[in-house]
Chain A
Amino acid sequence: MPTTQPGKKTILVPKIVNGVPSGEEEIVVDDTDAPAWGPKDKHRLLNTYLPRADGPHKATGTAKYTHDIKVPNMAYACFVTSPHAHARIKSVDTSAAEKVAGVLAVVPLPNVEEVRFEGQPVAAVAAKTLEAAEEAAHAVAIEWEQLPFVVTAQDAMKAGAPAAVNGGGGGRFGGRAGGNRGGNPEQVLDALKSCDVTVDATYTSVIMHHCCLETHSVVCDYSGGDSATVYCSTQGCNSITTDAARELGLPASKIAGIVYNMGGGFGSKFGIGIVGQWACRLSKQLKQPVKLVLTRREEFLAAGNGPGAIQTFQAGATKDGTLVAVHCIQQALPGIGRSNIAAQPYQYRAQHTYREQNTVNTNEDSSVAMRAPGHPQACFAMESLMDELADKLQMDPVEFRKKNVPDPAWIRQLDAGAKAIGWQNRNKTPGKSANGSSLVRGMGCGIGAWGGGGRGGCVATVNIGQDGSVTVQNASQDLGTGTRTYVRAIVAEELGLDYNDVLEEIGDSRFTNGVASGGSTTAASLSPAVKDAAYNARTEMAKRVAPHLGADPSAVLFADRQIAGNGKALSWKQACAFLPSGGLSVRGEWKPGLSGNGAHGASFAEVEVDMETGHVRVVKMAHVQDGGLILNRMGAESQINGGMIQSLGMALYEGRVMDANLGVMVNPAFNDYKLPGCLEIPELIPIIDDGDERNVVIGLAEPANIPGSGAIANAVANAIGVRIRELPITPDKILNALAQQKNV
């Protein structure tokens, strides 16, 4: 039995050897009288490999998503969208649409007289079946007056180009300029003169798409009356109620917002959006439930995107490998929106830096947050620049980086990544294969960082029934990041229960306040609240059970589904039987100390390029990622893999393509906007950086997605001996670059 010492207490914890529970041991910890994670290597569930709590339902097709909701008397709605990049509506004729059998409502969107991007919704239709709704939407006849538009950055930067948005325009060379700047440009240009090597280069990344497999969708279950249930595929469950209340004219407290599961968000799904707005409005008008789901084409055209960027550098370093001066003009390409690309020189330290960021607006849907907003773009450009400088210095790119990073975490990670990829075998003769074959290999690397961290406001509830059942509730949603899993695990571990003894109930706005999933903050915001609630539940249980054991509540142990003290033990069920019939309901909230911020990562890639076809095969990738206390190692590794794969897509395949003459996106489909598939997946090595000693929860979803594209771009350059400065690096670009090099 543990003895209590002043300021310290002894607790019994599972003994973990190489991640495998091996009995128990006693340890002494600070008695903070508050929840504490305890030593990182002493967890029974956290920081181990846990199967996903929702896995059995997802694997059998029984997990319900917003797309899957069908309620009685539900109508199907869809949008009519603009075929033009910029146009004025002269007239709308809904008569043919209204004649389609089964149509219930055809509503031109109010206050939309002028559209500013292709795909902008202009009318909404509801019908008894999806087939009828789509047919009717197609039958809405709109007379348009086309207006001048601009859909490529190149065109937007030309003198006299039409303004895509009022007051917007062509960036530094056009309209909206000087979004933000920092540093002294003259000093930087001066410093460049004293550098041993300099690089002048422009790097371009294009607009990308989130491609959530579940498109934006809402089911508004309202049939008149004083309450409604609104199902929404959103990253912010709590935002459903206020948004929907406004549209339905009901008090927010009378609306249940539901996100049981969602098929991806990646930053594109906050609030109920225009989809939810019109599901609610049509539902209110018809007094019947309405489901509105974007088509894949609409998802591409009108559900947000990740901005492109054109970044022009003048940079220099000295022979000893010191990055001295970086001058960078960054043009963000966010369609009609605004966006920020992370400031250069990104994660590197340089004595003299200047950066200036401008926006180049085009008649395309507005950019929104997309997994690590602004970072992969900045990282790709900066990491390409670093390799170009290293080449000129004839210095190993890893060594060059290690000399210029401000945090030792990256030195540790660069070493670990280099070892995993086999950096010692990096190509010493780029562009030349050993045996006369057309296949050449190359390696590259990059580093990234993300803030993350927890925010206040999350409140979790732990309910313990007289029958021993335990539920933990919170309104937060699981994007697929594994929220359900750690919510369950934290409570089970704290109460000494098995993983499957606890049921998590999340994604329902009627539960205590959750957090919107943005900026990799969900885990760091929610897990402390859950931990606090679990701690409070344990304390409360101890208080109630201790008298039955004849023990001091502070000396009661929770382990092995038992509550023990004073040499006696009760099974969890026996102990719970002492609870009142209503059981026990305990809350906890986010508090500082359990979460932290600042995640670091390093990516390495090895590629093989066929110099005669331009085909790039990624052979292997490794990504080293820290994240403080890892709640679930299996989920974390899945996230790291996912980050590597998304950056692989950015590097080699993905990008929105616009036709400058017509003002339309030419590839709004999965045949033509190419996501990496099974055959594109290399050997992937996800490495959790256990050298990170911080014992706090830090999100890691976004940082894993940052440095991979730069690493691959560098690997391609190392393979073929030519630098491609524009993403995606497709075979045509490689063949063109190699042909150009030959002609020089």
Chain B
Amino acid sequence: MNAFEFANAPTVEAAVKLLTPSDPKTDPDQLPRALAGGQDLLTTIKAYITPAPRVVNLKTIQGLDKIADDGKGGLKIGALATITAIEENETIRKNFPGLAQAAHSIATPQIRNMGTIGGNLCQRPRCWYFRLETVKCLKKGGTECYASIGQNKYNAIIAGGPSYIVHPSDLAPMLIALNATLTITGAEGSRTIPVQDFFALPKVSVRRENILKPGEIVTEIQVPATALAAKSTYLKFKERESLDFAMSAVAAALEMAADGTVKDARLVLAGVAPIPWRVPDAEKALIGKKPDAATLLNVAQIALQDADPLEHNAYKVPLTQTLIRRAISSLTA
């Protein structure tokens, strides 16, 4: 681990100041880093993946960990709310069950006790090559995506290239399915955008998985009260049930009509693309239909229609199709 400076930020403004590099052209891996739960950050610093010159502790900012009602039945979740707090929050368990499930599915109790929702959205990708200290891959300023021609069992089958990482967040796909937004704060103030727009494909931004600019931090996530929230679920498949990341996962949220047809639907995939991957065509194929076996097969088929697997990950196609069918079934059974 390289030596770095440590600062406790008393306010968001102070944090932004401490995080803004003096040279705007600083390499993205050499930027000061925000410390929330630190569960991914410390790992990447230890492995010299992001040798930060400075670590700015956000946990000293008062109130940034609140989970509050937005007054309309929705949620305002401070970026520093821990995964455990989300998982255990009674309102979330009751009104946003998919979000509680996604939180519960993450890593281990120890990690969930430290890890935060903001950190979960901002964590770096899972890819064997990215995580190797000695390999300078495309994402670290190198010239090759070694996964694309190497050991790519866990890599992207959709929207890959030039990098084939998968985004590891479990909360992000569920938040997208719930039409959530998030607030970014930087030197120029705050802006609120759909969570979906937070993430950036490698073809847009190969070094970073989101649109945060140097000095910016995520400060709040808003989950609106919608008809979708009550029927939401997160179905995650892991190679190992104990500590592991998703091989594939599905965040699903449905609104049912009185006649048993699907009125509205959101389907977002995880573990298959470099960013949480919403499948609007599959949603359309589901809306207005009774979720019978034939419909589910069709929806699953459409959801994976753009899949273009690498040498070792074609299994993710049938696996993800199964998860889609099961997730929808579990909400309509």
Contacts and interface: CB of A to CB of B under 8 A. Distances in A.
Interface of A: 83, 118, 131, 134-135, 138, 297, 438, 612-615, 653, 657-662, 664, 666-669, 671-672, 674, 676-680, 730-732, 735-736, 739
Contacts, number: 88
A664 B150 CA distance: 11
A613 B322 contact: yes
B129 A666 contact: yes
A135 B2 CA distance: 6
Contact of A680 (B134, B149, B240): B240
Contacts of A134: 1
Nearest to A672: B128
29 contacts: A83-B134, A118-B134, A131-B3, A135-B2, A138-B2, A612-B318, A613-B237, A614-B319, A615-B237, A653-B240, A657-B151, A659-B128, A659-B146, A659-B151, A661-B150, A662-B146, A662-B150, A664-B132, A666-B128, A672-B128, A672-B131, A677-B243, A678-B242, A680-B240, A731-B247, A731-B315, A735-B315, A735-B318, A736-B315
Interface in B194-250: 237, 239-245, 247
Contacts of A679: 240-242
Interface residues of B, number: 33
Interface of B: 1-3, 48, 128-129, 131-135, 146, 149-151, 153, 237, 239-245, 247, 312-315, 318-319, 322-323
B91 to A, nearest CB: 28
B132 A614 contact: no
Q: Chain A at the B interface: mostly helix, strand, loop or mixed?
A: loop
B131 to A, nearest CB: 7
B319 A731 contact: yes
Given A134-B1, A659-B128, A666-B129, 12 more contacts: A118-B134, A138-B2, A613-B319, A658-B151, A664-B135, A671-B131, A674-B239, A674-B240, A676-B240, A677-B242, A731-B319, A732-B315
A653 B243 CA distance: 13
B303 to A, nearest CB: 15
A331 B83 CA distance: 48
Contacts of A730: 239
A657 B129 CA distance: 12
Point out which of A297, A679, A730, A732 has the most chain B C-beta atoms below 10 A from its C-beta: A732
B150 A659 contact: yes
Given A138-B48, A661-B150, A731-B247, A680 B314 contact: no
Closest 3 CB pairs of A and B: A677-B242, A679-B241, A666-B128
A677 B108 CA distance: 11
Nearest to A612: B322
Contact of A676 (B134, B242, B319): B242
A613 B324 CA distance: 12
Contacts of A672: 128, 131
A296 to B, nearest CB: 11
B150 A732 contact: no
Given A679-B241, A736-B314, A736-B315, A131 B1 contact: yes
Nearest to A131: B1
Contacts of B237: 613, 615, 731
A527 B224 CA distance: 69
Contacts of B133: 297
Point out which of A131, A664, A667, A676 has the most chain B C-beta atoms below 10 A from its C-beta: A664
Contacts of B2: 135, 138
B292 to A, nearest CB: 15
A297 B133 CA distance: 10
A680 B151 contact: no
Contacts of B313: 732
A149 to B, nearest CB: 14
B131 A669 contact: yes
A731 B313 CA distance: 11
Contacts of B242: 676-680
Contacts of A438: 322
Nearest to A653: B240
A669 B313 CA distance: 21
B43 to A, nearest CB: 9
Contacts of B146: 659, 661-662
B33 to A, nearest CB: 17
A662 to B, nearest CB: 6
B239 A653 contact: yes
Contacts of B239: 653, 674, 730-731
Contact of B151 (A131, A138, A666, A678): A666
A561 to B, nearest CB: 46
A248 B107 CA distance: 46
A135 B46 CA distance: 10
Contacts of A297: 133
A435 to B, nearest CB: 15
A131 to B, nearest CB: 7
Nearest to B134: A83
B319 A680 contact: no
A131 B133 CA distance: 17
Contacts of A735: 315, 318-319
A127 B89 CA distance: 47
A668 B128 CA distance: 9
A671 B129 CA distance: 13
Contacts of B241: 677, 679-680
A313 to B, nearest CB: 27
A674 B244 contact: yes
B135 to A, nearest CB: 6
A732 B135 contact: no
Nearest to B128: A666
Point out which of A657, A659, A666, A669 has the most chain B C-beta atoms below 10 A from its C-beta: A666
Point out which of B240, B241, B247, B312 has the most chain A C-beta atoms below 10 A from its C-beta: B240
A666 B312 CA distance: 14
Contacts of A612: 318-319, 322
A653 B314 CA distance: 19
A666 B3 contact: no
A69 B23 CA distance: 45
A666 to B, nearest CB: 4
A87 to B, nearest CB: 12
A669 B131 CA distance: 10
Given A732-B313, A732-B315, A135 B3 contact: yes
Nearest to B312: A732
Nearest to B248: A613
A612 B319 CA distance: 7
A669 B128 CA distance: 10
Nearest to B127: A666
B235 to A, nearest CB: 10
Nearest to A297: B133
Nearest to B2: A135
Contacts of A135: 1-3
Contacts of B315: 614, 731-732, 735-736
Given A613-B237, A677-B242, A666 B132 contact: yes
Contact of A739 (B3, B312, B318): B318
Contacts of A667: 128
A461 B237 CA distance: 56
B255 to A, nearest CB: 27
Contacts of A118: 134
A155 to B, nearest CB: 13
Contacts of B243: 671, 677
Nearest to B154: A672
A84 to B, nearest CB: 9
Contacts of A666: 128-129, 132, 150-151
A730 B150 CA distance: 18
A664 B318 contact: no
Contacts of A615: 237
A414 B290 CA distance: 52
A138 B319 CA distance: 41
Point out which of A118, A613, A614, A735 has the most chain B C-beta atoms below 10 A from its C-beta: A613
Contacts of B134: 83, 118, 664
A541 to B, nearest CB: 52
Nearest to A138: B48
